[in-house]
């Protein structure tokens, strides 16, 4: 079904496929490209033709791509290790060395490395695998057993393996088709896990497994019938309770079981209410709840075992504020730390047992920070991870008593990187509806000229309330050192400026995300941050939907755009519940089975709005085994775009036949994808 003369773009055969909803019919000429088995010869042949065409078109960029790959690789410290973290009687860390793609995991009886024991060599696990992802890694409460989960095809379906750490041998127990997560009961012989549906990829069933028994004997302890919920497992901070957490876009539910009685029945912890979202944890006699009950930006409340079910009996700890989004709380014996966001910036507030509180401060104008690995609630030292657009990833330890901050480790960046050569800032761009949109920028000082001469790469995501905070990426240095400005557009749909920022960029407000990105592009040109003919854009997954819509609505703004595992055929996908993860998304995008949402989504759907116009140069990538956005979405989009676009600009499509949504695995192998996009953009600046 593919016609492709030598050095010509593959032209896909059209087969009419009418799709009718609400008495409206669309014709999808490329519907035939969907093959859930990923074995159809015509489909695979077309993907190969696209890959061959991509290789032909980009062959001249190979020297630049190799140069960039070498730069990226040579910035990475070949022999590196994580900081040891104390959990119980052992200190845990990982190491990676030489040309190894993956880490080795160890534990020691002291922080200085005494009695070092190899727990897992991931390189051995990944041997002979084109793709490998290590999922959950856990140790039994008595430290004698270990589990790890592995995915070898990129579909995020994991098998779980058990290992006896006393004799370094694998147990016969293996759990297949799981989410990858294991929750240990306190008896050291019972675990709980979530099993995945191989078609929808939803985890709706929680099973109990007894060590030494076959998986076929595992007991179903919970099943969720509502496909809009994601299931996850957890353990309370004091390790007394086991949690089954159910999270939909707009509500939360939690079931609980005594960790010392794994054969018991999971019971509801909190009375369920529509629209109630929360996080809950327990330490000692108190449950702490981060809740949106009568608090759009969330507040923190607490309850006892006797009062936790009925939220009317909860007690306020941190009140709701209109200008502060509460993101979480970490519990310690003598204090707790609240993670919050104000004016788009993450903050940490320490609350002491005596009622006093104080912030843990950082200095950069824009940055990313999060609590590090702090497994022991009795500790008075807290680790935080910190990074900015000019500061490599750093782990700090704060002494809660003295309020002193100590830098424990900072990511080394080889190749002569000097942070003082670069500047970062946050600006605000006024969108067409008068709302101020934050933008994070970084550039190299001696190559920056705010007189409309620099090329600029603008990145965006804007969905699911996920905030893309400005953090250091050594890959970006290769662009900055070639005169690029790098910008993160914090469009509506994230939670950068609070929960309302998310609500204003989803469902029937989704067009705001696209308007914001376009308005930022225009402002960056107008304000001199980039030349009007040197603007690039990039986004992946839901950010790929952002790119696809922006390309239909304002293609003239961009010289080149990268779309990676992009969500492009939103209406058809959201109408089909057999496509993985669709039912979880209704409260994000809307359900097009309802005409109001159908009409609105159809108005911006990247696939449905392709038209006869000029488009910029485009690089599209995907993975054949993608579990989040199916390969056929970008495949169809590219085929249709080839039929409609009126320009001679480049359109190349690359499919990794071995990977999934996260791309290639391994620390070096994945760099080829980064080098591919950067070479694509840089080459456009020098092409005639």
- Whole-Å CA distances, 560 to 60, 188, 488, 652: 17, 55, 16, 11
Residue 605 CA to residue 571 CA, distance in Å, equals: 7
Q: DSSP character for 157?
A: -
Distance CA 101, CA 105 (A): 13
What are the structure tokens assigned to 433, written together? 């509806």
DSSP helix/strand/coil, 369:
strand
User: Can you tell me the distance from the alpha carbon of 439 to that of 389, in angstroms, rounded to the nearest whole number?
Assistant: 12
CB 660 within 8 A of CB 96: no
Place of tokens 């078109």: 57
Determine which helix (DSSP H) or strand (DSSP E) holds 136, and give its type and residue range.
strand 133-139
Residue 532's contacts (CB-CB under 8 Å, 6 or more residues apart) are 452, 525
Q: State how far the alpha carbon of 385 is from the alpha carbons of 68, 92, 112, 398, 413, in Å.
A: 28, 17, 21, 11, 17
Distances (CA, A) of 22 to 19, 26, 510, 598, 604: 10, 11, 21, 8, 18
What are the beta bridge partners of residue 351?
A: 336, 357
Token duo for residue 272: 């369920």
Q: How far apart are CA 569 and CA 580, in angstroms?
A: 14
Contact yes or no for 624/38 (Cβ under 8 A): yes
Residue positions annotated with a catalytic role: 541, 626, 661
Residue 101's CB is within 10 A of a number of other CB atoms, namely 16
DSSP type of residue 217: G
- Using the 8-state DSSP alphabet, how is residue 492 labeled? B
């Amino acid at each position: 079904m593919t016609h492709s003369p030598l050095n010509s773009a593959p032209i896909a055969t059209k087969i009419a496929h009418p799709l009718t909803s609400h008495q409206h019919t669309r014709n999808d000429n490329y519907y035939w490209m969907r093959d859930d088995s990923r074995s159809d010869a015509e489909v695979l042949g077309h993907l190969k033709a696209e890959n061959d065409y991509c290789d032909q078109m980009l062959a001249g960029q190979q020297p630049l791509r190799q140069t960039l790959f070498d730069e990226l690789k040579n910035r990475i410290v070949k022999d590196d290790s994580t900081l040891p973290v104390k959990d119980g009687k052992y200190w845990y860390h990982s190491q990676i060395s030489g040309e190894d793609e993956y880490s080795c995991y160890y534990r020691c009886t002291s922080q200085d490395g005494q009695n070092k024991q190899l727990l897992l060599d991931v390189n051995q696990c990944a041997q002979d695998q084109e793709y490998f992802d290590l999922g959950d890694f856990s140790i039994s409460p008595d430290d004698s057993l270990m589990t790890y989960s592995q995915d070898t095809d990129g579909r995020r379906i994991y098998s779980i393996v058990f290992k006896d750490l006393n004799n370094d041998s694998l147990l016969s127990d293996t759990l297949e088709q799981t989410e990858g997560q294991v929750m240990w009961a306190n008896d050291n012989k019972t675990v709980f896990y979530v099993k995945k549906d191989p078609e929808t990829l939803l985890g709706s069933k929680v099973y109990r497994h007894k060590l030494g028994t076959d998986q076929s004997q595992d007991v179903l302890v919970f099943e969720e019938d509502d496909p809009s919920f994601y299931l996850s497992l957890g353990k309370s901070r004091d390790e007394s309770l086991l949690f089954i957490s159910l999270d939909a876009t707009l509500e939360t539910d939690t079931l609980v079981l005594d960790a010392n009685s794994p054969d018991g029945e999971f019971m509801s912890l909190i009375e369920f209410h529509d629209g109630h979202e929360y996080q809950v944890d327990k330490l000692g006699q108190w449950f702490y709840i981060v809740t949106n009950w009568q608090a759009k930006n969330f507040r923190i409340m607490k309850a006892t075992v006797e009062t936790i079910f009925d939220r009317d009996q909860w007690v306020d700890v941190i009140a709701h504020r209109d200008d502060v989004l509460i993101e979480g709380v970490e519990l310690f014996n003598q204090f707790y730390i609240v993670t919050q966001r104000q004016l788009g910036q993450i903050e940490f507030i320490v609350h002491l047992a005596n009622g006093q509180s104080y912030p843990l401060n950082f200095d950069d104008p824009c940055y990313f920070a999060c609590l590090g690995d702090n497994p022991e609630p009795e500790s008075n030292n807290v680790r935080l991870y910190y990074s900015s657009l000019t500061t490599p990833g750093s782990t700090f330890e704060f002494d809660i008593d003295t309020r002193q901050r100590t830098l424990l480790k900072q990511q080394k960046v080889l190749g002569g990187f000097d942070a003082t050569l670069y500047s970062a800032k946050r600006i605000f761009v006024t969108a067409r509806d008068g709302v101020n949109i934050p933008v994070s920028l970084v550039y190299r000082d001696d190559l920056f000229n705010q007189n409309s001469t620099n090329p600029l790469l603008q990145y965006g995501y804007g969905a699911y309330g996920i905030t893309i905070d400005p953090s250091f990426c050594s890959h970006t240095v290769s662009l900055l050192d070639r005169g690029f400005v790098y910008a993160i557009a914090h469009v509506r749909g994230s939670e950068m400026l609070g929960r309302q920022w998310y609500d204003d960029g989803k469902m029937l407000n989704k067009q705001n995300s696209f308007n914001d990105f376009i308005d930022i592009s225009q402002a960056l040109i107008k304000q001199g941050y980039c030349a009007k003919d040197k603007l690039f854009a990039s986004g992946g997954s839901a950010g790929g939907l952002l790119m696809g819509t922006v390309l239909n609505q304002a293609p003239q703004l961009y010289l080149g755009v990268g779309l990676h595992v992009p969500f492009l055929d939103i209406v058809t996908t959201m109408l089909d519940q057999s496509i993985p993860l669709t039912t979880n998304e209704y409260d994000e995008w809307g359900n097009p089975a309802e005409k109001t949402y159908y009409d609105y989504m159809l108005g911006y759907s990247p696939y449905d709005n392709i038209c006869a116009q000029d488009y910029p140069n485009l690089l599209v990538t995907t993975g054949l085994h993608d579990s989040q956005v199916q390969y056929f979405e970008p495949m169809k989009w590219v085929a249709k775009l080839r039929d409609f676009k009126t320009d001679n600009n480049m359109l190349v499509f690359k499919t990794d036949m071995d990977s999934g949504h996260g791309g290639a695995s391994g620390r070096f192998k994945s760099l080829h994808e980064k080098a591919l996009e950067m070479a694509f953009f840089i080459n456009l600046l020098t092409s005639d």
